Structure 1
């Protein structure tokens, strides 16, 4: 019995390690967690507070969400669908519900594009406005940008005395 338990422990450890070392799988899992958390934040803020901004120089809650969606569209389509993207769409007239749908759709678009991409392409270097970057670096930029602005939204929700959704980043 002890041998069977030891064998199961070794197999479980090996499977877990191989899953975590696969860049694509690791990103896709984290991307879905990021989507879930951001959407819960967007849902938590009442629509009548979507224009809230802590100071005049900061973006409103809604503008932060629009900015996140636009950046995901630009990086996702330019570097993972091999399309050229023009000017960002004006989403400022969208309702809370429609903006949330747009965000969910953009997260899903990137998820599907990354999932379909051959993992070897993550090593390819692409032209980027800040200099050449690998597609893996662009993946990291995508996630980092969402996290940066989502962190600001945490402050906005707290300033409006709105309970934060439970963190879903694990």
Structure 2
């Protein structure tokens, strides 16, 4: 990955869909779990945003940096504000990455990967969990779902 701007734009095209998904749920649906031991809708959204922040910070620091913990939200508006803040913060970290950051090998859960590969894994991780959110929306009876990627 030589162009961080292209990466950021691709990542944002997926993150914008998470923001759009939050427009389709109500506050009572935030605690929905498809199964007893699964993450709630709110927890899964936070897992997506917290993980991407963790990956970006890890690449910036050159060493594993734990992400934020999930919080309890009572309203969609509160969760939307958290996701917006996380997105803004992660975007700033990503835009600050240098070529050296992207090339530097990083130890990550038993693997040594260049920062650029770790970021690709991060985007894949976000896309994977975003797909799960689509299933959550359908299980909640929501028929109007956004397209899987935002081009606007």
TM-score (norm 1): 0.76
Write the deviation string for residues 92-143 of structure 1: whole angstroms up to 9, x where unpaired: 2453212222222222222212212222431111111131111011111221
**Residue 133 of structure 2: aligned partner:** 153
Task: Answer whether contact 1:28 1:115 (CA < 8 A) is retained.
Answer: yes
Structure 2 CA distance for aligned equivalents of residues 81 and 52 of structure 1: 35
**Residue 10 of structure 2: aligned partner:** 30
Gaps of 5+ in 1: 1-20
Counterpart pick for 1:80 among 60, 70, 77:
60
Deviation at 1:49, TM superposition (A): 1.0
**Residue 135 of structure 1: aligned partner:** 115
Task: Answer whether contact 2:13 2:149 (CA < 8 A) is retained.
Answer: yes
Task: Answer whether contact 1:91 1:99 (CA < 8 A) is retained.
Answer: no
CA separation of 1:52 and 1:26: change in aligned 2, threshold 3 A: same
Counting matched residue pairs gives 150
Q: Which of the two has greater helix per residue?
A: 1
Gaps of 5+ in 2: none
Counterpart pick for 1:59 among 11, 35, 39:
39
Structure 2 CA distance for aligned equivalents of residues 113 and 87 of structure 1: 13
Deviation at 1:83, TM superposition (A): 7.9
